[in-house]
Amino acid sequence: MGKVYTVVNQKGGVGKTTTSINLGAYLGQFGQKVLLIDLDPQANATSCLGIDRHQVENGTYEVLIGAKNAVECLLHNARFKISLMPSSPNLSGAEIEMIELSDREKRLKTIVQSLTNRYDYILIDCPPSLGLLTLNGMIAAQDGVIIPVQCEYLALEGLGQLTQTLSRIRHGLFPELSIRGVLLTMFDGRTNLSADVMSEVQKFFEDKVFSTFIPRSIRLAEAPSFGMPISVYAPDSSGARAYRSLAMELMTTDGVKFDPGQE
């Protein structure tokens, strides 16, 4: 059975989609079978992989409301070495429609469980909110959540709310929910601020913080406009090296055997 991780933070602009895409692409380059589920109505992960969100007819929305089978809605990109369950603006109405459905908080979990035998890694990219979609994403995270944290003080303020939400889910719906790792993003080694935020996050989450951190990178910011992961757009950039390192760290701590030279 494959690993299932949900990338979550209710604050926008912290690097959730960037992390989901680029971590997934590098896991794929290291020979892992990877599925990215776009659970965000903004469909940024879908667009960043070169797919027009407005042309998506079968995706996360249709699967969640039961109109389509999950396998029917999967796309595979051999060049990027990643599969995708795409999103579309239609997903914005799913939270209202799902209210009437049974086990509305666990619909994605059931869908993901039907796919884990097909993939080594399933990554779920959540919207920047703590609504029903994100709740579905966290309950589906059988191996834990990955929390990107931007290296600025405002990002720290939202962590308390997120950890409280995780605690409530553990007590009410999913006792096994865990934090797989906290990822520091947009790190700028030239500033004291980044170092201070890193210190505070490490103090709060201790050994849950990934050793790898993601630097500020112009190339990372440019890649989505070209519809490519950084591994294809600028493989020699600092951002690419960081996400490659993150993929290696994740696989190593997961006990996955891989060849560091395989790409």
CA angle (21 as vertex; 15, 27 as ends), nearest 5:
120
Tell me, letter by letter, the H, E, C secondary structure of 203-263: HHHHHHECCCCCECCHHHHHHHHHCCCHHHHCCCCHHHHHHHHHHHHHHHHHCCCCCCCCC
Give residue 204's pLDDT.
87
Answer whether residue 249 shows pLDDT above 90: yes
Separation between Cα atoms, residue 209 and residue 34, nearest integer Å = 23
Q: Domain residues of the chain, as ranges?
A: 3-254
Answer whether residue 130 shows pLDDT above 90: no
Alpha-carbon Rg for the chain in angstroms? 17
Q: Which residues contact 157 (CB under 8 A, 6 or more apart)?
A: none
State the burial class of residue 245 (Cβ atoms within 10 Å of its Cβ: 0-12, 13-18, 19+): middle
Strands 75-77 and 3-7 turn out to be: unpaired
Give residue 189's pLDDT.
83
Separation between Cα atoms, residue 208 and residue 215, nearest integer Å = 19
CATH architecture, domain defined by 3-254: 3-Layer(aba) Sandwich (3.40)
Answer whether residue 263 shows pLDDT above 70: no
Cβ neighbour number for residue 11 with a 10 Å cutoff = 19
Flag whether the pTM goes above 0.75: yes
- Mean pLDDT for the stretch of residues 213-225: 95
Residue type, 61: Y
pLDDT, tens digit (0-9, with 9 covering 90-100), for 32-79: 999 999 999 999 999 999 999 999 999 999 999 999 999 999 999 999
Separation between Cα atoms, residue 3 and residue 23, nearest integer Å = 13
